[in-house]
């Protein structure tokens, strides 16, 4: 992927079956990757054990990226999520031919809705996934690459990553995973067709939305000023160190040509409905 080769080895081939649906499109030959820098992932699949006294312990799985452990826990789906998350980060981080905006993005009827998020917000993926279940097409749930030639958002070639509880909540369309207490940080990969959606073609940016999350609060759209939006995009830009003032010029242009809003999300469901309802009128104007 993007001039880096990834190799996965495992103690249990069933783990490969689990990740294949998410990464098959990137599969290649050893020959094609022989001159590329490569990363090796090692997935150690633990086994359940029966201890004296009929005490059963769940097997713990570990994933290593090169020599660094990136996952240790009892859920294979979460280990697959950790693998996909590391690969997509390693693949997308060098893509400086794009201006990369942290956040998510979806396409609605050929128009791009950029959900810019200067700070990392775990709830953003759930909002993107909910939009997909309502008819939007997928562009990204972590970073949105904007092409500087045509000013279009390009789709990222990886599955959506959702917190386990969100994946379960989304009407069973996504793979179910065990519920866990406390704040979840691990994510599981969710195929787009499981959400009734697909990857979008590159689309122009028509609406820039800055979401923030207040679970349980009122969901509302607010207007945002141009200067505030340019500043927000500056904060959300993952490679402004590369694009510098050229990035600022693009953000000014985007803000002049696209609608700009703040979105306070009390409920992803309500927020997705609101975006779907308002988008057609905003995109037209």
Partner 1 sequence: VVWVYQAEEDQQEGPDVHRYVHNGALVRTGLPRDLLNFAVWDIHTLAHQRTRDFLLLHAGAVVQDGRTVLLPASPESGKSSLVIALLELGFDYLSDELGAIDPLTARIHPFPKRISVAPESLGFFAGLAERLQDRAGLGSGLLKRYVRPEDLDAAVAGPAAVRVLVFPTSDHEGAARLTRLSRAEAVHRMTANSFNVPIFGERALALLSRLAREAPAFQLDGGTPRERAASIRELMAELR
Chain residues in the site for partner 1 (CB under 8 A): 94-97, 147-150, 239, 242-243, 246, 249-250
Name which of 37 and 53 has its Cβ closer to partner 1.
37
| Residue 214 near residue 267, CB atoms below 8 Å | no
SS3 state of residue 105: strand
Judged by beta carbon, residue 227 or residue 249, the one nearer partner 1 is 249
Shortest gap between Cβ of 148 and partner 1 (angstroms)? 4
Which residue's CB is nearer to partner 1, number 18 or number 88? 88
Question: In the structure encoding, which two tokens stand for residue 282, read together?
Answer: 């905003």
* CA–CA dist 215, 90 (Å, integer): 31
**Residue placing its CB nearer to partner 1 in the complex, 101 or 190:** 101
Rounded distance between C-alpha atoms, residue 114 and residue 126, angstroms: 15
Minimal distance, residue 282 CB to partner 1, in Å: 25
In sequence order, what are the residues at sequence separation of 6 or more whose Cβ sits closer than 8 angstroms to the Cβ of residue 244?
A: none
Task: Provide, rounded to whole angstroms, the least separation between the CB of residue 37 and partner 1.
Answer: 11
Q: Per-residue DSSP letters for 33-49?
A: GTTS-EEEEEEE----E
Give min distance, CB of 152 to partner 1, in A. 9
Q: Residue 81 class from Cβ within 10 Å (0-12 exposed, 13-18 middle, 19+ buried)?
A: buried
* CB 242, min distance to partner 1, A: 5
Q: Which is nearer to partner 1, 130 or 239 (CB)?
A: 239
């Amino acid at each position: 992927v993007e001039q880096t080769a990834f190799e996965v080895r495992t103690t249990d081939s069933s783990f490969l079956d689990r990740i294949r649906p998410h990464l098959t499109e990137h599969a290649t030959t050893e020959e094609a990757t022989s001159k590329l820098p490569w990363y090796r992932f090692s997935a150690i699949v633990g086994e359940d054990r029966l201890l004296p006294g009929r005490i059963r312990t769940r097997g713990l799985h570990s994933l290593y990226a090169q020599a660094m452990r990136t996952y240790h826990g009892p859920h294979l789906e979460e280990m697959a999520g950790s693998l996909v998350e590391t690969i997509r980060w390693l693949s997308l981080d060098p893509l400086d031919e794009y201006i990369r905006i942290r956040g998510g993005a979806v396409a609605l009827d050929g128009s791009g809705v950029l959900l810019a998020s200067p700070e990392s917000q775990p709830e953003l993926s759930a909002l993107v996934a909910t939009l997909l279940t309502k008819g939007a097409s997928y562009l990204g749930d972590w970073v949105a690459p904007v092409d500087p030639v045509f000013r279009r958002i390009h789709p990222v070639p990886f599955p959506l990553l959702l917190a386990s509880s969100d994946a379960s909540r989304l009407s069973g369309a996504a793979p179910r995973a065990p519920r866990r207490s406390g704040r979840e940080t691990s994510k599981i990969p969710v195929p787009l067709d499981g959400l009734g959606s697909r990857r979008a073609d590159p689309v122009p940016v028509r609406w820039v939305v800055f979401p923030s999350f207040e679970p349980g609060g009122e969901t509302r759209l607010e207007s945002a000023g141009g200067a505030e939006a340019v500043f927000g995009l500056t904060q959300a830009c993952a490679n402004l160190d590369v694009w510098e003032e050229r990035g600022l010029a693009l953000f000014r242009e985007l803000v002049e040509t696209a609608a700009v809003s703040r979105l306070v999300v009390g409920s992803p469901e309500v927020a997705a409905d609101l975006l779907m309802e308002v988008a057609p009128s905003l995109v037209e104007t």
